[in-house]
Structure 1
Amino acid sequence: MRSAAESLFARLAEFGPQTALAEGERTLTYAELLGAVAARSERLQRLDARRVALALDNGIDWVLWDLATLHAGLVCVPLPAFFSAEQQRHVLGSAGIDCLIGAPAPGFASVADGIQRRAVAQPATLHPGTCKITYTSGTTGQPKGVCLDLASQLAVAASLVEAGASREVQRHLCVLPLATLLENIAGVYAPLMAGARVELMAMARIGLSGASGLDLPRLLQALQAAQPHSLILLPQLLLALVGAAERGMPLPASLRFVAVGGGRVSAQLLQRAEALGLPVFEGYGLSECASVVCLNTPEQRRIGSTGKPLGHLQVRLAEDGEVLVKGARMLGYLGEPAPAGDWLGTGDLGHCEDGFLVLHGRKKHQFITAYGRNVNPEWVEAELVQQLPIAQAWLHGEALPGNVAVLVPRFADTAEAQLQAAVDAVNRGLPDYARVHHWLRADEPFSAANGLATTNGRLRRTALFDLYQAAITELMAEGVQA
């Protein structure tokens, strides 16, 4: 019986003369890809590597080394460039990395061009079957390592191939960092398993920098140069492209399937994309389930939902509305026991409509107002940032008679009246208990540098509360006196 890796490479061999990878003028056919992977696999084995960290920019080399670790039966640990230096040190140490491919790091010695080694006396024990450790940035503490086997990753990729088959995607452009599990599986493994061409560009050429920096003109140029059939976007990237298209900037006519996920997507934004004729399909997933769990497709689509579960898994709801998943799961967190039972709790709340999953937000983020109403702040925050004057928003209302938003203006010269008008526009579409009853202008943007956001842009809610608690208390006191 073939192993998961053997099955993968046998499938890729079926597409021998077709172009597999492209990076500028450099291209590799599937046959050339397999030859390069085998050669790199042999190099890793000669070096007696065991756990390999990839610290490379997006490009052909990233993909080849990732596949080479699979070929050699080693553990691959993608090292996100958007992690802080401290977080990167934590990843290298906690995972017991003995081989680093990419930029030099303290404690490692160069043994070949771009390859560094170090001795690790007692590496952390891994869950049996681990071939990849992907680190989630989280919102508190250091990143957590999610241990995955190859079969789970390929099951997701195979289901994605099936879900998008009718669009006949032949060219996928990787927009997100390859160190992101979503792009790694849905943007590399899935297209390769379908015999498609994966277009790769350095992140600077794509126009992305750090966790949330975006150079929109560069991104638009990259899209026009690649003319891709498919993309994977985060909500903020979709918002930027929709806004550009609404201002008359051209988007590629080649697009057939634009997947969006990684955060709550406003239904209003999806409707704007629909009006432009953009083939946008919202999905939902998490690293603990080897990435994608649900996805809207051309055949089964409902705006405002994250779609139906992929074919290889099942989804149901707990009594409190938490989303539970069966059929695709992590082996466990690094350094923690394996999860028990068949169903994995996601920590997300939602409900189902005719089989389509509609998310409400993170269970741990939900707050209860002074009037006993449950509010998921991500819902309101996603609507707020659809408004042009608002770049970032944080909503707080725990035990308060009214909800308070802290708003980061999109432009430094944004007037108070413009922010109020944006809040009013959002409130018109919300039930009273979820509306923004009061708001404050943020002192500065929420970023990883000031500890108010994670490296991939998620809000650090406890830090925001600590910073703005006094101002919120004062604002509410003024409201009571008034």
Structure 2
Amino acid sequence: MTVSAQLLAHAAFRPDAVAIEPIVGPTMTYGNLADTVEARAQALVDADLAALPDPVVLEGDYCADMVVMELALLAAGIPVLSLSAAFSENERQNVISDCRARQIGHRTHVPRHGSTCRFPAGTAWITYASGASGTPEVMAFDGDHLVMVARNVVAALGDHAAGRHLAVLPPGTLLEAVCGMFATLLAGGTYVCPPQALIGMADPLHPECQVLAAFVAQHRITTLILVPELLMQLVAAIETTGVDCPDLSIVAVVGGRVPPAVFARARQLGLPVRQGYGVPKAGSIVALEAAEGDPLGAVGRVLPHLRARLAPDGEILLDSQQGISSHASWPLHTGDLGHIDQAGRLWVDGRKPGVIATSHGHTVATRWLEERLLAQPGVAQAMVYGDGMPLPRALLVPASPLADLDAAVASVNAELPAYARIDIWQEVSPFARTSARTADGDRLDRHAISAQWLDAEPSFFTRLEAATVRQRLAFLALAHMHAGLSGTISRATYLAYLGQAHHHLRHVMAAVRMIRARLAHRPGLVAALDAYEANQASCKAAIFNAVVGAGGHAALAFEPEHHSAAGLMIEHALRETGERNPLAIAGMAYAMECVGMGLVQHGASALATNRDPPPDALLCLAAIHARDRKSIHLFEALVNDITDPEDQTAVLSMARTAFGLLGVMFTAISLESRHDDSRERGMRLAKGYR
């Protein structure tokens, strides 16, 4: 039975029952609605609007006339293009042009390109989803399918559930049209459809849920369809205001997973929440939690017009049990991961990599946003996340010490639809990359990055790396660093680097021994310091051997060429640790660890490539690199034992300062490769020891 036939049946048996209640205008009974729809449909046919197969645009805010027009178009056999209010004007025009739609009413006609409709005969309802990559995606359905889905919803809920349904989701939303309007009218309920602003939904991404809660209570609403974000905000609003909504019998939540804690809070308030699962290409609703209550997290059994099964990787696939959407390709690949329990209930466990589902019900491709961010000159790396959150979020690595990430995000957001804009971003240290490349070229180790930054509170070492990323970039931008890392340094310069490293390591170790006595009351930290110092002693010995192995004199390691900058750095470190906070030495050690890891490894490669060092030198350099790798792991454990906020602040402050002082010190080393006099200078220094 069509919707029109069902309206006539209601009109015959319950002509005075209220069918549509727009709040701002007169209500329409079933008797009045059936007559009005029939007359409007005939007028459309008489105007020859049914003679062409092209769809007619239907857009605007909720009102009684909007409902009548949609029902009349369907009754006249004219395809309806239902436009989402979330589309920009440019997207709106592109969609209308793409499906060669006609317009009636106050808007000007849009020229149609070609005379052949792109949709098969029998198409009744057309909509465009926002699309995971910003390009609206067309979906078309025949009238029988829409009625079938709506009837299955009514069957799942029961005719007794027909009450007063409030249209909350934005106009043009497939879920609201099928499971809200059609299902309510088929069941003989009242469709309450006020303008969005009246219920606090003028801006769907920033709803006023206190207004919504008050409206639900005042107008005795019995059923709602919400997305997870709306449920979360409605729960918070009711908790804050104490508004009572005793008439609510069903609050269906579709469009993403609801956190168990939110479900618990909602049910504690007496809200009859039922989790559902929807896939737009399948005609909106796929499964709905049973009235008796399924286990928390299940989305219920799949409705009769569909069958769910799992791909080998756990992706939920949908097969059609009956005739369905003219544009669907079966089986439907949902992009969702899940499982089916022994009772036949469907569980949605998450999304496949590459796409997130926001709590507003939108799907967003992470690579799409990441590519936009990486096109900004200030962004070196980006990882977008936000599954289950209101809007996407990002971890960003700056490309330079002066990179303006605020401006970069603002520039990207200005070109994105509202639902895909980066809401919150965080500056972090460079990401690890995987050795394998995915099908779309992605080499980010997303699991490792998530474990480091998102799955739990980041460790202090992780935060230390992020807090000093710009200081490290400034240090690496020095001409001396470019020369060292590119292999254009002389042997004398490289030996000078090693000499300074040995010299400063001695002083850092002395400082560590000095503060150790002041930390006797913290045995765990003392044990970590002891392990770190033991490894540093091995590093010091390896640097000494590298100096000799590369042809330098041993005295260079003990008495490197003096620079005032070097003395300044040591003096600053001793003052901070002696007079203020002894743990500040960890900040100095961190800066030296970072510099050492880069220069020893890459400087050794440069020396091997360009200077043909003795084999012993290469063995010594390899030993330094191996000890440095062990050292950074020991240092990470040491730093993560520092939990006091004041201690952490001292470490961060010292680390930032130390990078600058190290830069001044290295800049003072000559880059000229005039004459390699390192051995001769070493001999002179050696005489001074005699």
TM-score range, shorter chain: 0.7 to 0.9
Match of 1:20 in 2: 19
Partner Cα separation in structure 2 for residue 448 and residue 358 of structure 1: 39
Q: 1:268 to 1:93 in 2, by over 3 A?
A: same
Q: Distance in 1 between matches of 2:291 and 2:409?
A: 36
Q: What's 2:346 paired with?
A: 357
Cα displacement (A) at 1:232? 0.7
Aligned twin of 1:347: 335
Is 1:311 the counterpart of 2:304? The answer is yes
Do the aligned partners of residues 210 and 328 (structure 1) sit closer, same or farther apart at CA in structure 2, a change above 3 Å counting?
Answer: farther
Alignment of 1:331 with 2:325, yes or no, is yes
SS at match of 1:57: coil
Q: SS of the counterpart of 2:252?
A: strand
1:10 deviates by 4.5
Within 5 Å, give how 1:78-89 maps onto structure 2: 78-89=82-93
Report the equivalent of 1:99: 103
- Report if the CA contact (8 A) 2:217-2:247 is conserved: no
Does the 8 Å contact 2:149/2:285 carry over to 1? yes
Q: Does residue 63 of structure 2 align to residue 52 of structure 1?
A: no
| Structure with more contact order per residue of length (Cα contacts < 8 Å, sep ≥ 6) | 1
Listed one character per residue, the Cα deviations across residues 330-362 of structure 1 (whole Å, up to 9, x for unaligned) are 5344xxxx62x5x32222211122322111233
Aligned match for 1:266, one of 259, 264, 283: 259
Q: Is the 8 A contact 2:277 2:299 kept in 1?
A: yes
Q: Which residue of 1 aligns with 2:167?
A: 174
Mark the CA change 1:69 to 1:270 in structure 2 (over 3 Å): closer, same or farther.
Answer: same
User: How far apart are the structure 2 equivalents of 1:292 and 1:471?
Assistant: 42
Q: Is the CA contact (8 Å cut-off) linking 2:56 and 2:81 kept in structure 1?
A: yes
Cα distance in structure 2, aligned partners of 1:169 and 1:98: 35
- Kindly indicate whether the alpha-carbon contact (under 8 Å) linking 1:329 and 1:344 is maintained by their aligned counterparts in 2: no
Instruction: Give the corresponding residue for 2:81.
Output: 77
Cα distance in 2, alignment partners of residues 202 and 38 from structure 1: 25
Q: Which position in structure 2 is the counterpart of 1:63?
A: 67
Separation in structure 1 between the aligned mates of residue 396 and residue 56 of structure 2, nearest angstrom: 50
Larger deviation: 14-23 or 322-331? 322-331
> What SS does structure 1 have at the residue aligned with 2:274?
strand
Summarize the Cα distance change of 1:197–1:91 in structure 2 as closer, same or farther, 3 Å threshold.
Answer: same
Identify the residue that residue 277 of structure 1 maps to in structure 2.
270
Q: Is the 8 A contact 1:404 1:472 kept in 2?
A: no
Are the structure 2 counterparts of residues 187 and 232 from structure 1 closer, same or farther at C-alpha, using a change threshold of 3 Å?
same
Superposition pairs of residues 49-198 of structure 1, within 5 angstroms: 49=49, 50=52, 51-101=55-105, 104-105=107-108, 107-108=109-110, 121-165=114-158, 168-198=161-191
Q: Specify the SS of the correspondent of 2:231.
A: helix
Any idea what SS the aligned residue of 1:213 has?
coil
* Maintained 8 Å contact 2:275/2:289: yes
Equivalent residues of 1:53, 1:97 under 8 A apart: yes
Relative distance call for 1:406 and 1:131 in structure 2 (3 A) is closer
Deviation at 1:439, TM superposition (A): 12
Distance in structure 2 (CA, Å) of the matches to 1:5 and 1:170:
18
Q: 1:77 to 1:261 in 2, by over 3 A?
A: same
The 1:60/1:89 distance shift into structure 2, 3 A limit, reads same
Change (3 A) 1:213 1:82: same
- Structure 2 counterpart of 1:414: none
1:104-126 deviations in whole A, cap 9, x for unaligned? Answer: 24x45xxxxxxxxx666424421
- Measured in 2, the distance between the counterparts of 1:168 and 1:236 equals 24
Q: Deviations over 1:33-72 (max 9, x none)?
A: 0111112112222332242111121111111111001110
2:661 corresponds to: none
Select 2:413's aligned residue among 431, 435, 450. Answer: 450
Q: 2:554 maps to what in 1?
A: none
Partner of 1:421: none
Task: Give the direction of change, closer, same or farther, for the CA distance of 1:127–1:162 in structure 2 (3 Å limit).
Answer: same
Q: 1:231 to 1:121 in 2, by over 3 A?
A: same
Distance 1:18 1:166, change over 3 A: closer
- Partners of 1:82 and 1:307 lie apart in 2 by 30
1:173 CA drift (Å): 1.0
Q: Which residue of 2 aligns with 1:249?
A: 242
Q: Does 1:478 align with 2:465?
A: yes
Distance change >3 Å, CA 297–CA 469, structure 1 → 2: same
Aligned length: 404
Q: CA deviation at 1:240?
A: 0.8
* Post-superposition offset of 1:95: 1.3
Aligned pair 1:43/2:43, yes or no? yes
> For the Cα contact (< 8 Å) 1:167–1:256, is it kept in 2?
no
One-letter amino acid of the counterpart of residue 75, structure 1: P
- Structure 1 counterpart of 2:283, which letter? A
1:454, distance to aligned residue in structure 2 (A): 4.5
User: Quick check: 87-96 or 7-16, which moved more?
Assistant: 7-16
**Per the alignment, do residues 141 and 200 of structure 1 end up closer, same or farther by CA in structure 2, a change over 3 Å counting?**
closer
Structure with greater proportional strand content: 1
The CA deviation at 1:168 is 3.0
* Distance in 2 between residues matched to 1:69 and 1:154, nearest whole Å: 15
User: Cα deviation per residue 1:412-456 (whole Å; 9 max; x = unaligned)?
Assistant: xxxxxxxxxxxxxxxxxxxxxxxx99999x95999999268655x
- For residues 2-40 of structure 1, the C-alpha deviation after alignment (integer angstroms, 9 at most, x for no partner) is 7x4564445444443311111125111111101111121
Distance in 2 (alpha carbons) for counterparts of 1:57 and 1:449:
29
- Compute the RMSD of aligned alpha carbons: 3.9
* Residue identity in the other structure for 2:251: V
* Unmatched 5+ stretches in structure 1: 109-117, 367-376, 386-393, 398-402, 411-435
Identity %: 30
CA contact (8 A) 2:7 2:185 kept: no
Q: Look up the match of 2:30.
A: 30
Q: Do the aligned residues in 2 keep the contact of 1:167 with 1:257 (CA within 8 Å)?
A: no
Output the amino acid matched with 2:30.
Answer: Y
Q: 1:217 to 1:470 in 2, by over 3 A?
A: closer
Asked if the contact 1:271/1:303 (under 8 Å) is kept, the reply is no
More deviation in 212-221 or 236-245? Answer: 212-221
- Structure number with greater Rg is 2
Q: How far apart are 1:471 and its partner, in Å? A: 6.2
**Contact 1:130–1:148 (Cα < 8 Å) also in 2:** yes
Q: What SS does structure 2 have at the residue aligned with 1:231?
A: strand
CA contact (8 A) 2:165 2:184 kept: yes
Tell me the secondary structure at the aligned position of residue 104 of structure 2. Answer: strand
1:359 aligned partner, one-letter code:
V
Question: What is the one-letter code of the residue matched to 1:348?
Answer: D
Tell me which residue corresponds to 1:420: none
- Report SS of the residue matched to 2:27: strand
